[in-house]
Amino acid sequence: PRLHVEQDLVPGAVLPLERAQANYLLNVLRRGPDDPVLLFNGRDGEWRAALAQSGRKSASLVVQEATRPQTPRADLHYLFAPLKSARLDYLAQKAVEMGAGTIRPVFTRFTQGERLNVERLRANTVEAAEQCGILSLPEIQEAVRLPVALADLAPERLLVFCDEDAALSDPIAALRGAADPASPPPLAVLVGPEGGFSAEERALISARPNTVALSLGPRILRADTAAVAVLALVQSVLGD
């Protein structure tokens, strides 16, 4: 298993585990003292640690040796309109698994999600990072309204806007037409809420230079489905 910890990772460091983490390792994964655990903190790369059990529900980890050097956070920005909590959990995890290094909730006219629970969002990104093997936690940017999110994007960042009303063109050709795969620009992806973007919002997004509206096919996808589809597509065509 891989665990994200806050502490510095140096040989010999003893890290007491929180009860939930100890319970997960000892009783859910049924790991014993000889089973290695991999740790990362977003700064020091990945380290192997030994599990030192000190009770049925308490344990600590003894840091042993580095297994992978630190890698920087991915540069892909994922902008999304919050969804209802269960789907938002799923979307946050998929965005991280699919390579988003920065995620930003964007409030739009038809955003349905109730008050955004940023702590829950953070917990989902940590869980996804542990599961998919990245060494840097994604940055969760402050939730803002659409105009602010667009203005905050660096002009050179290509914005891929998922638009179910866009012409049914070849998405790969559309991406290749917007950027040179040989030297891809920094990227951002924008997916709307379950209620879709308003006409004004579409106009605002399309008015931004360096923006490509992408159709993901003739069917209406749920926002979290669109997230996985577009992130996979963008990275397969323009991933660095």
Residue 41 or 111: the one with the smaller Cβ distance to ligand SAM is: 111
Cα separation, 3 vs 130, whole angstroms: 6
Find the shortest distance in angstroms from Cβ 111 to ligand SAM.
10
Find the shortest distance in angstroms from Cβ 223 to ligand SAM.
4
By the 8 A CB rule, do 102 and 73 touch? yes
Cα separation, 52 vs 29, whole angstroms: 15
Find the shortest distance in angstroms from Cβ 158 to ligand SAM.
16
Sequence-separated (6 or more) residues with CB below 8 Å from residue 112: 82, 83, 84, 193, 194, 195
* # residues near ligand SAM by CB under 6 A: 17
* DSSP, residue by residue, 20-86: HHHHIIIIIS---TTSEEEEE-SSS-EEEEEEEE-SSS-EEEEEEEEEE---PPP-EEEEE----HH
For position 137 contacting ligand SAM by CB under 6 A, the verdict is no
Find the shortest distance in angstroms from Cβ 163 to ligand SAM.
5
Interacting stretch for ligand SAM, rule CB under 6 A, among 27-35, 46-54, 202-210, 211-219? Answer: 211-219
Residue 144 or 221: the one with the smaller Cβ distance to ligand SAM is: 221
- φ and ψ of 93, to 5 deg: -65, -45
Residue 128 or 189: the one with the smaller Cβ distance to ligand SAM is: 189
Residue 38 or 172: the one with the smaller Cβ distance to ligand SAM is: 172
What's at 51, amino acid-wise?
A: L
Give me the long-range contacts of 198-205 (CB less than 8 A, separation at least 24): 198/108, 198/109, 198/110, 200/109, 201/108, 201/109, 201/146, 202/163, 202/165, 204/146, 204/147, 204/150, 205/146, 205/150, 205/159, 205/161
| Interface with ligand SAM (CB under 6 A), residue from 74, 223, 234, 238 | 223
| Interface with ligand SAM (CB under 6 A), residue from 215, 228, 232, 239 | 215
Looking at residues 138 to 197 of the shown chain, list those that interact with ligand SAM (rule: CB under 6 A): 162-164, 191-192, 194, 196-197
Tell me which residues touch ligand SAM (CB under 6 A). 162-164, 191-192, 194, 196-197, 215-217, 219-223, 226
